[in-house]
Structure 1
């Protein structure tokens, strides 16, 4: 006849186990340090993929050029295009979205065109007088805005 096997009690370990503390689980990485100050506020506008590509190409051209001053005009052109895109993103597009009306939109368009011409002229004069380190600084600032 077959005999029934009774399960044997599990062997006790020689070392008693300590109960785990609640919340004592270790994470793979230490917690991120807390900021002492809140992040600085910022505004952002989205520009076209083509303008981004063009901007990055001009920045790379200036940053890699032996004489960055040879590309002042290209940097001024990009700065002006970015300005126009920003005016559109911050002002004209919200105006259209608000359905302010054709006359108001046209008035805003004409006003901004005048402002862009003045700002564009000043921008060209300023960038046109910059030396290489100043141009590289402007490129760095533009890159920082593009994050």
Structure 2
């Protein structure tokens, strides 16, 4: 995938993440109370293996937001073809992170808008995301962007 630019955003470039971005991406994933206990930035081996799987899957977009040569945000967009909803393809937004120095700058909004636009370009009829129940500020953020809390989610650790 080539580099992308969001119209109207001249100081941030959105591009496909590269393997050399992994330390910065993992650091952002670990930079909150939940991530601090589930991520391991000192051992990048599992992240490299996951990156290789993502890089070869045409339904995956791991995005890096770069400002002045520094990675300042990331998200993963997954395209999911399906039979329900008349054969609709949906997208799932995961792992949205903004560097702590950039929070409140509007970058999170730009990342989500990019993901919605990319979903439209890919022919998706629905964009979904999940957010941990404890992330109340994130819930308000997503609602401001037009997302509606519509489902109750379940997990089973394997």
TM-score normalised according to structure 1 size? 0.24
Q: Which has the higher strand share?
A: 2
Q: Please give the TM-score of this superposition, normalised by the length of structure 2.
A: 0.23
Indicate the structure with greater helix content.
1
